[in-house]
Copies of this chain bind each other. A is one copy, B any other.
């Protein structure tokens, strides 16, 4: 079977383990949204938000569920879970330029570094002493891998990343551009109004199948290590302070700020721009909605929020005056009753 577009629809049905209804010989060149699709495109239907796009789509075929199949008369691939089917299809249509299978001559590799087979290193990559890269690791241009770092097989590190000394990264990780892993935690002891730096002796230990988004920072631990579990997915510009411990298969969306020694359970979803204060513990299967501040531990699964919701600025100005009087208002109301 071919492994790059175009595919005929029968091939796609086989690759995606989906039921084909329609013309098996039709050629599919690309994967697109229902709305933007044209002839030769495969699309998918999953989110009721886009239901109105389904009937009018010009896609040559659509991935959808058995229950939705009757709503669409064109060529279709029927799947138990159309969104997962789409996720699988997406990789068949990925045309990322293949990096040349080579180590750039401008890469700087310390003689004591230990490189596996089939390594790709971009221009100006720096691999310091005793660093160890497993088989099939890719490191893009201008990234710095410091001393004693270990990176597991098939991991991919994008451009302009810094992995500081001694950090350990598992297999199949994807570290995006601009990430900093293993810089010092923010630890000081105060004496007479001056701050004395505490050397950060721990490291960062990252499991398998982890994604870390662009310009995210993960600090090394003060004494123990900062720990990111298997399967954790972290978005862009997230800040993870020293000694944080994140459980397996937890998702952390963009711009969240997680303070020191926070412990987050498994299968949590921390939405975007959330703040979590230091030493908080969060149970498994907790969702925190966007831009909430977690200022206490969360002991039960469920969804948690803070904030006021949006108003016009004019209304808001009146309401925040009242917020500052809220305790007085409540006390008076209690007296009335």
Contact of A321 among B32, B180, B304, B327 (CB under 8 A): B327
A: interface residue count bin: 35 or more
Chain B's nearest CB lies how many Å from the CB of A44?
Answer: 9
Say yes or no for A292: interface residue by CB 8 A criterion: yes
Please indicate the chain B residues that have their CB under 8 angstroms from the CB of A198 in the complex.
86-87, 90
Chain B's nearest CB lies how many Å from the CB of A80?
Answer: 10
Contact A199 B316, beta carbon cutoff 8 Å: no
Q: How far is the CA of A199 from the CA of B96 in the complex (A)?
A: 10
0/1 interface trace, chain A 269-291, chain B, CB 8 Å (1 if under): 00111010101000000010111
Q: How far is the CA of A117 from the CA of B63 in the complex (A)?
A: 47
Contact A324 B311, beta carbon cutoff 8 Å: yes
Q: How far is the CA of A292 from the CA of B122 in the complex (A)?
A: 41
Please indicate the chain B residues that have their CB under 8 angstroms from the CB of A213 in the complex.
183, 186, 217
Contact A272 B257, beta carbon cutoff 8 Å: yes
Q: How many copies does the complex hold?
A: 3
Please indicate the chain B residues that have their CB under 8 angstroms from the CB of A197 in the complex.
87, 91, 174, 211
Please indicate the chain B residues that have their CB under 8 angstroms from the CB of A255 in the complex.
239, 255, 257, 275
Given A159-B162, A257-B273, is A233 in contact with B188 using a C-beta cutoff of 8 Å? yes
0/1 interface trace, chain A 65-104, chain B, CB 8 Å (1 if under): 0000000000000000101101110110111110000001
Contact A123 B97, beta carbon cutoff 8 Å: no
Please indicate the chain B residues that have their CB under 8 angstroms from the CB of A272 in the complex.
239, 257, 259, 275, 277
Q: How far is the CA of A144 from the CA of B186 in the complex (A)?
A: 24
Contacts of A126-146 to chain B: CB distance below 8 A: 126, 128-130, 140-142, 144, 146
Contact B33 A223, beta carbon cutoff 8 Å: yes
Contact B183 A36, beta carbon cutoff 8 Å: no
Contact B142 A126, beta carbon cutoff 8 Å: yes
Using CB atoms, name the residue of chain B closest to A46: B189
Contact A142 B124, beta carbon cutoff 8 Å: yes
0/1 interface trace, chain A 225-266, chain B, CB 8 Å (1 if under): 000000101011101010000000101011101010000000
Say yes or no for A111: interface residue by CB 8 A criterion: no
Q: How far is the CA of A36 from the CA of B227 in the complex (A)?
A: 15
Say yes or no for A48: interface residue by CB 8 A criterion: no
